[in-house]
Structure 1
């Protein structure tokens, strides 16, 4: 049975929608991206899709499901479309629950702190060095947790690439731009750096990153 394309509401710059794109690409799920301008993200018609006014959100015509929050979307996609556990794990297995553990850590530990580092480094109207320092230190803390685990394994769960590895990648794209000389991933967190390189070598990831650059260029014109 051929699948109808899933509608993905996105924007080009933010990291969270690109986690979803990586899973689409890994699983060969057809999708159509609709880029929501920042000026319209809190207004109709988009808030009828996501009342929280954030991207990503999806509408899946194959199941009739509308869903928002990137972590929930990733879990939905692998449980609905990854029946062979290509990038996920057998339901009820230890790895199945460990993957959820890491996804929760990404959603609660990485995304918010990395995002606040961006806010206080780039967008906050006042320069508050103590706030910037706090969130850069949180980037270090999260990276230290990952580095310790990845010293023992090439990937976070089950020693194979999975959707939770994909979930962490997009936010790391902001590290060099935001932290400057404060963090050198290759030197300070070598196992994280090697892991990110492994993920980026995957064809699905390479295509996702290329598509993101094209989308960013298109939105800027």
Structure 2
């Protein structure tokens, strides 16, 4: 990988979707530069020219000239182009397609539901308990799907006999869900034991630890900035 030019990863150090790309790039030892895009600049030029949807992550790969946005598409691109030895993937069937299946479920099931749970509990301007209850229930339902599948997996991983991008794709959102449930005094300890073992293994990965710590620091900085802004207006 030493001859490669660094991939530019556009994102931030708080939200989960850029961070899951960050984890995968580091796990594969691919050179990259993580450029932070402030929230107020995501729907303005020049970033809007990179992603017309005004969201992160997005990547620019100077080695191929490709610009991509949407995390699922980015992950599949990285695997196809930079995981030739299948460190985090498989080149065989059905494993290759099972990985795509779990990435699709993460995109359609985990991300939107968990994101809405966070929004209605932490951000929305009024408390809508029915919305909070719906999305928290969906968080647990998704967790139960993972647990059921993992209970039948001899390796304890989502696909095959090793950790793949199918697993890494989930970890940051799962960490967010665990924190949110702790804020809400929801205790699921022991209810989903196969999930718990899988989650623990992922959190023990050095790169995952590093990125989770980076996110925690980013959240602390964000909260401090908000407090300072409020103090200025007081």
TM-score normalised over the length of structure 2: 0.88
Task: After TM superposition, give the deviation of residue 7 of structure 1 in Å.
Answer: 0.6
2: CA distance, partners of 1:136 / 1:110: 11
Please give the per-residue CA displacement for 1:63-116, whole angstroms capped at 9, x wherever unaligned.
10000001110110011000010000105x100001001100000000000000
Count of matched residue pairs? 220
Gaps of 5+ in 2: 226-234
2: CA distance, partners of 1:165 / 1:85: 14
- The residue aligned with 1:117 is 117
Secondary structure of the 1:186 match is coil
Residue 178 in structure 1 maps to residue 180 in structure 2: yes
CA RMSD of aligned residues (A): 1.7
1: CA distance, partners of 2:124 / 2:218: 25
Instruction: Check whether the contact 2:172–2:212 (CA below 8 A) recurs between aligned residues.
Output: no
2: CA distance, partners of 1:58 / 1:33: 9
2: CA distance, partners of 1:39 / 1:199: 32
Instruction: Check whether the contact 1:185–1:192 (CA below 8 A) recurs between aligned residues.
Output: no
Task: After TM superposition, give the deviation of residue 126 of structure 1 in Å.
Answer: 1.2
- The residue aligned with 1:163 is 165
1: CA distance, partners of 2:158 / 2:194: 11
2: CA distance, partners of 1:76 / 1:63: 11
- The residue aligned with 2:30 is 29
**Bigger CA radius of gyration:** 2
Residue 143 in structure 1 maps to residue 146 in structure 2: no
Secondary structure of the 1:66 match is strand
Please give the per-residue CA displacement for 1:161-187, whole angstroms capped at 9, x wherever unaligned.
000101110001222332345643432
2: CA distance, partners of 1:184 / 1:68: 36
Instruction: Check whether the contact 2:23–2:211 (CA below 8 A) recurs between aligned residues.
Output: yes
Secondary structure of the 2:189 match is helix
Instruction: Check whether the contact 1:13–1:216 (CA below 8 A) recurs between aligned residues.
Output: yes
Secondary structure of the 1:67 match is strand
Secondary structure of the 2:5 match is coil
Instruction: Check whether the contact 1:19–1:167 (CA below 8 A) recurs between aligned residues.
Output: yes
1: CA distance, partners of 2:213 / 2:126: 34
Residue 194 in structure 1 maps to residue 201 in structure 2: no
Task: After TM superposition, give the deviation of residue 216 of structure 1 in Å.
Answer: 4.4
Secondary structure of the 1:173 match is helix
Secondary structure of the 1:42 match is coil
Structure 1 runs of 4+ off > 3 angstroms?
180-183, 210-221
Secondary structure of the 1:83 match is coil
Instruction: Check whether the contact 1:49–1:57 (CA below 8 A) recurs between aligned residues.
Output: yes
Gaps of 5+ in 1: none
Task: After TM superposition, give the deviation of residue 210 of structure 1 in Å.
Answer: 3.3
1: CA distance, partners of 2:185 / 2:136: 8
